[in-house]
Chains A and B, each alone.
Chain A
Amino acid sequence: MQTVKMVISGAVNAGKTEFIKAISEIEVVSTERRATDDTKLIKKETTVAMDFGRIAIADDLVLHLFGTPGQKRFDFMWEILSEGMLGLVILVDSTRPETFRETNRIIDFFVSYRDTPYVIAANKQDRPNAWSPDELRLALRQPPHVKVLPCVASDRESVKNVLLELLYVIQERSED
């Protein structure tokens, strides 16, 4: 059985757990705990270790989805989770510009040392005052070739679209 891995990252409350739940075939293994730091101002429970989802591709192939914890004190987990990943989805809460700086830090961590295929998912596009993907591209200073995609993490079709767009990026870099 071959397993391949994708990582879903983003700042606290970007929607990582919801994203994986929307597409995973198994009940998502989350380690949500009552927030004990500043995070509690944003949400009562948050992912302090990681989320894990799974999609069976065929009898001999499985796709694992790992959601990283959002808090800075769990940065060490990112290195572990990123080892051997096929690609990366960076989720952004499009309604909270106060998280854009942290999002840039996460992109920098995952992308600056590695040529990691990634896309940015502009989550919560169904909310009023969500920044559009074009505006997020400028806010996050992303070059034109990086895909910044509209997303609603609770909507399975929207999540599928983000994963497919990431897979197309990976496909371009794959070998025959």
Chain B
Amino acid sequence: MALVGNIRDFGLSDFLYLVDRGYKTGGLHLSHGEETALLFFERGKLVMAARKPEDQHPDLLVRLGILNEAQLAQARASLANRDNGTTLTDVIIEENLAAKEQFQGALQSFTEEAVYGLFGWPEGEFLFEQNQRPAREAPVIPTPISVDHLIMEGVRRIDEWGRIKDRIPSTDMVVRFLDQPGERAKGVKLAAEEWRVFARINGRDTLAEIARKTNLSEFDVCRIVYGFLTAGLVEVMRQPRPLPVKGGATVADPPRVKRSLVNRIINRIKGM
């Protein structure tokens, strides 16, 4: 079943988070006016991004200087004799037609730039076709890319409050790390400003206080924390609201109910 929507309503960084945490495999088709893009994911990691139809063609490997024409022809000929589970990328690596590091580096840079450009789209239809995979001859990255740092880079390109305020409605909110942020953070490359904010997160200071301590604007702190949030590194919480107290419990507490009463309701609904 396909997931459809518009990145105006459900942002690309949110979608990448869903793909990452859901270990999704499939093709994400995006369109914005005349522009289109196609991204493929394998178990939550990015394996290919094409902004033009020709970027899905093996000739891309020649254009990027990874192979020459003769090497590409040799790889394609070998692929024709291999089983359906083998990709052109597998053949290139197995037959040493290109050094894996060079292959990975060149194709990864190209793919990342293709994705970064998509964060500039203010809106665009998306359709995620689950379990769709690239063609066997498509230029697929040897080692799939973790989307965490793609999310961080995408968020760096956000320059308006609107989207940030959806997740961070107030600078009076407190930031704290989720479980084992160090492990999650390994895939994320932080810029110097981001490290300054990262180092100030202690579960007590509000965003406004972090802005003051880092000498960054509140907008910059919120944008950076929005990136951490989107990458699943931190959570933001409201500070407890000062409330009048009634009989030792705050008025905001839900009523304590008797188990016997709940059991009666359960039995009644079961019997309906």
Binding site for B on A (CB under 8 A): 2, 4, 23, 55-58, 61, 63, 84-87, 97-101, 104-105, 108, 112-117, 128-132, 134-135, 138-139, 156, 160, 163-164, 167-168, 170-171, 174-176
Contact = CB atoms under 8 A, between A and B. Distances in A.
A61 B264 contact: yes
Contact of A85 (B8, B241, B254): B254
A138 B266 CA distance: 29
Interface string B245-272: 0000000111111110111111011101
Query: By CB atoms of chain A within 10 A, which of B5, B169, B270 has the most?
Result: B5
B268 A55 contact: yes
B60 to A, nearest CB: 31
B94 interface: no
Contact of A108 (B4, B6, B169, B268): B169
Contacts of A129: 1-4
A2 B14 CA distance: 44
Interface residues of B, number: 39
A87 B254 CA distance: 8
Nearest to B238: A112
B258 A174 contact: yes
Contacts of A113: 238, 240-241, 252
A124 to B, nearest CB: 13
Contacts of B237: 112
A114 B6 CA distance: 32
B18 interface: yes
Interface string B209-231: 00000000000000000000000
Contact of B254 (A99, A101, A116, A164): A116
Contacts of A115: 253-254
A170 B262 CA distance: 7
Contacts of B5: 97-98
A57 B257 CA distance: 15
B9 to A, nearest CB: 4
A163 B272 CA distance: 12
Nearest to B259: A174
Nearest to B237: A112
Contacts of B238: 112-113
B266 A139 contact: no
B189 interface: no
A163 B270 CA distance: 10
A57 B10 contact: no
Contacts of B268: 55-58, 63
A135 B254 contact: no
